Amino acid sequence: MLIKAKKPNLKKTRAIAGFTQRSLGEQTQLSSAFLSQVENGTRNVSAPNAKMICAVLDCNFDDIFEIVEHDPQSHPGKEVDHEPSRKLFKLKGLGRARHSH
Protein backbone atom coordinates (compact mmCIF):
# COMPACT_ATOMS: atom_id res chain seq x y z
CA MET A 1 0.00 0.00 0.00
CA LEU A 2 1.34 3.42 -0.97
CA ILE A 3 0.07 6.80 0.15
CA LYS A 4 0.42 9.49 -2.48
CA ALA A 5 -0.55 13.15 -2.49
CA LYS A 6 -3.45 14.19 -4.68
CA LYS A 7 -2.19 16.81 -7.10
CA PRO A 8 -2.75 19.74 -6.69
CA ASN A 9 -4.84 19.28 -3.52
CA LEU A 10 -1.99 19.06 -1.00
CA LYS A 11 -0.26 22.17 -2.32
CA LYS A 12 -3.54 24.09 -2.53
CA THR A 13 -4.64 23.03 0.98
CA ARG A 14 -1.22 23.94 2.38
CA ALA A 15 -1.32 27.38 0.77
CA ILE A 16 -4.90 28.09 1.90
CA ALA A 17 -3.92 27.12 5.45
CA GLY A 18 -1.15 29.74 5.26
CA PHE A 19 1.83 27.41 5.25
CA THR A 20 4.91 27.38 3.08
CA GLN A 21 6.67 24.07 2.60
CA ARG A 22 9.26 25.27 5.11
CA SER A 23 6.72 26.26 7.78
CA LEU A 24 4.76 23.02 7.30
CA GLY A 25 8.04 21.16 7.62
CA GLU A 26 8.80 22.92 10.88
CA GLN A 27 5.38 21.96 12.28
CA THR A 28 5.61 18.33 11.14
CA GLN A 29 9.36 17.76 11.62
CA LEU A 30 9.58 16.87 7.89
CA SER A 31 12.03 18.56 5.55
CA SER A 32 10.75 21.06 3.01
CA ALA A 33 12.57 19.04 0.32
CA PHE A 34 10.63 15.91 1.32
CA LEU A 35 7.33 17.83 1.35
CA SER A 36 8.12 19.21 -2.11
CA GLN A 37 8.69 15.69 -3.42
CA VAL A 38 5.44 14.49 -1.82
CA GLU A 39 3.52 17.40 -3.37
CA ASN A 40 5.05 16.68 -6.77
CA GLY A 41 4.21 12.98 -6.55
CA THR A 42 7.80 11.75 -6.66
CA ARG A 43 7.74 10.48 -3.04
CA ASN A 44 5.21 8.51 -1.05
CA VAL A 45 4.37 9.35 2.53
CA SER A 46 4.00 7.02 5.52
CA ALA A 47 0.68 6.73 7.35
CA PRO A 48 2.02 8.49 10.49
CA ASN A 49 3.46 11.35 8.43
CA ALA A 50 0.21 11.65 6.43
CA LYS A 51 -1.72 11.83 9.72
CA MET A 52 0.66 14.51 11.03
CA ILE A 53 0.30 16.59 7.85
CA CYS A 54 -3.51 16.29 8.01
CA ALA A 55 -3.50 17.33 11.67
CA VAL A 56 -1.40 20.44 11.02
CA LEU A 57 -3.46 21.39 7.95
CA ASP A 58 -6.71 20.49 9.79
CA CYS A 59 -8.06 18.46 6.88
CA ASN A 60 -9.29 14.96 6.08
CA PHE A 61 -6.92 12.34 4.71
CA ASP A 62 -9.06 11.91 1.58
CA ASP A 63 -8.83 15.64 0.86
CA ILE A 64 -5.12 15.55 0.11
CA PHE A 65 -3.97 11.92 -0.07
CA GLU A 66 -4.95 8.71 -1.81
CA ILE A 67 -4.09 5.09 -1.15
CA VAL A 68 -2.72 3.13 -4.07
CA GLU A 69 -1.80 -0.55 -4.03
CA HIS A 70 1.12 -0.13 -6.40
CA ASP A 71 3.08 2.49 -8.26
CA PRO A 72 0.81 3.41 -11.21
CA GLN A 73 3.87 4.06 -13.36
CA SER A 74 5.09 0.48 -12.94
CA HIS A 75 1.67 -1.13 -13.69
CA PRO A 76 -0.24 1.26 -15.97
CA GLY A 77 -3.91 0.55 -16.55
CA LYS A 78 -4.35 -1.83 -13.60
CA GLU A 79 -7.52 -1.10 -11.60
CA VAL A 80 -7.34 -1.59 -7.84
CA ASP A 81 -10.05 -1.66 -5.16
CA HIS A 82 -8.94 0.81 -2.47
CA GLU A 83 -11.79 0.22 0.00
CA PRO A 84 -10.00 -2.46 2.11
CA SER A 85 -7.01 -0.14 2.58
CA ARG A 86 -9.25 2.79 3.51
CA LYS A 87 -10.99 0.65 6.13
CA LEU A 88 -7.61 -0.43 7.55
CA PHE A 89 -6.46 3.19 7.62
CA LYS A 90 -9.56 4.20 9.61
CA LEU A 91 -9.21 1.24 11.98
CA LYS A 92 -5.71 2.41 12.84
CA GLY A 93 -7.14 5.84 13.76
CA LEU A 94 -5.64 7.63 10.80
CA GLY A 95 -8.88 8.83 9.20
CA ARG A 96 -9.78 12.32 10.43
CA ALA A 97 -7.14 14.49 12.01
CA ARG A 98 -8.12 15.96 15.39
CA HIS A 99 -6.84 19.15 16.97
CA SER A 100 -7.03 20.04 20.62
CA HIS A 101 -6.95 23.81 20.95
Domains of the chain by residue range: 2-91
User: What pLDDT shows up at residue 85?
Assistant: 53
Q: What is the pLDDT of residue 37?
A: 97
Task: Report pLDDT for 23.
Answer: 98
Q: How many helices (H) and strands (E) does the chain have?
A: 6, 2
Domain spanning 2-91: which CATH class is it, in words? mainly alpha
pTM > 0.85: no
pLDDT of amino acid 6 = 94
Spans of the chain, pLDDT less than 50: 80, 97-98, 100-101
pLDDT at 53: 97
pLDDT in the model for residue 1:
84
Give the three-class secondary structure for 19. Answer: coil
Residues 6+ apart with CB under 8 A from 65: 3, 4, 5, 6, 10, 45, 50, 54
